[in-house]
Amino acid sequence: MAQSQQRFVVYVQVYGWYKQVSGYIKRQTNSIVIDMKRIVTTILILIVFCSAVLAQPLPNDSIKPFVDFLSGKTFLSPKEYVLKSFEEKDIIVLCERDHREFKQYEMIVDIIKDKRFTGNVYTEVGVFNSGKQINDFLLKENLTEIEIKEHLLAIFKNLDMFSLWPNYNYFYLLENIYKINQERQLNEKIQVFPLDVMFSWDSIKCNEQYNMFLDMMEPQNNFPPVIDRNTIMAQHFIRKYFQEKYRNPNKKKALVIMNTYHGYTRIPKCIPLPTEPKTYSTAEYIYKTFPNSTKGIMINYYPTSQNPILIADGRWDAAFRFTGNKNVGFDLKDTPFGKTKFNMYNFGGTDYETVNFEYIFDGFVFYEPLENFELIVGIPGIFDDKAFVTEFYRRTSMEEKITIEEAMSSKEINEYIEDWNVKKIDKIDDLVKFNDLINIWITK
């Protein structure tokens, strides 16, 4: 209906222009001064303009506010937006999408390698005690490509509380920060501090010990977990952040990378217990500690649950697709995006206040549409080390509560060894379904 009305307006305007041209021709003919070139040119311009206007698609009413916002302003690129945010705040928390997704780390590396980034990087990925090994590597000078890979493989063998962290983007991040540091003075070099719970595979001796550790990180009978990862990661950040600022006052900027709900800057109140002083996310803990220095920025996202629901049922993605999928960043407050009801991964239940996106996050970056996302899994060469293959069998036997012999004969575990020893690139699951959900709002 809205499109028909707009086309009617255009027809009325064209008819008015036609009358003006007709009058012009009549006047000129009466005075025997006919400028045919001018007449023909004017008519051709009108025809071309009208054709372009009538051919231009108009947004569906459901996405029009988002389209108008994206079309009516000039935006910074994601990189420039984050760097601009660092001019206003010292701590930027990036809420990343799927841990496996690679393209977002191209953006992150592009931000970090800019000379205007003067801080350090803090990540959810990696146990806290792996930080020393990581930064010993990042501060080394003039390593060969072979030596760089050897150091990275050694880091990954001790990086995580699971048998192996197989996501390539963290390998890519560390490798590129090492190379960036080769162009910087010692006091300018970037360090990376993993923030997750302290853990060492050397201290794990049996299935019961390992699984008790994992169980302590999960809620028990509706009671909070014994090991609260969100609080611990935030406390690790605060500790390291103060230490690094004390050692080097130039290192007051911090880029914190957290996944989904760990990166939610503000959590709405729990309705049954609205006064309970509970901090649900790492980002909220950081925000409450540094309220005037922290900014939370969300990276465009896709759901990984078994019941995939896109943001605003696909309207956000539809609006970006309609306007050309431009990579941009902007503040959410008082925008159609910020006013959208929050419908991402919830907070552990349904008994929470309904809030909009601008309550949870301060900013948003759109970097690549869903169809360009790349899930890259595999650490090239990690299992060329036969000693680590043996250690992997030991670890997986404890994870699966089986014997080492059973692990060694397990088809699934041996497929992991084969698959994760190379880099494998996949598109996201359910892409056809997501595209259908998006296109509904474009074609209506």
Mean pLDDT of the chain: 88
- DSSP alpha helix (H) spans, 290-410: 315-322, 357-360, 386-400, 404-409
Q: State the Cα–Cα distance between residues 197 and 244, nearest whole angstrom.
A: 20
User: Mean pLDDT across the stretch 258-285?
Assistant: 87
- For the segment 313-372, what is each residue's pLDDT rounded down to a tens digit? 999 999 999 999 999 999 999 999 999 999 887 765 567 888 999 999 999 999 999 999
Spell out a b/e string for 256-268, using b for 16 or more CB atoms within 10 Å of the CB, else e.
Answer: bbbbbbbbbbbbb
pLDDT at 116 over 90: yes
pLDDT at 254 over 80: yes
Domain ranges of the chain: 2-58, 70-376+423-443, 381-419
Question: Above pLDDT 90, what percent of the chain?
Answer: 73
pLDDT at 295 over 70: yes
User: Mean pLDDT across the stretch 84-113?
Assistant: 97
- What integer pLDDT is reported at residue 277 of this predicted model? 76
pLDDT at 81 over 50: yes
Q: State the Cα–Cα distance between residues 4 and 6, nearest whole angstrom.
A: 5
Structure tokens at 247: 């050692």
pLDDT at 33 over 50: no
Structure tokens at 200: 């060492």
- What integer pLDDT is reported at residue 41 of this predicted model? 57
pLDDT at 240 over 90: yes
- What integer pLDDT is reported at residue 105 of this predicted model? 98
- For the segment 149-197, what is each residue's pLDDT rounded down to a tens digit? 999 999 999 999 999 999 999 999 999 999 999 999 999 999 999 999 9
The neighbour count for residue 146, using CB atoms within 10 Å, is 8
Residue located via tokens 């064209």: 14
Structure tokens at 412: 């699934």
Q: State the Cα–Cα distance between residues 302 and 97, nearest whole angstrom.
A: 7
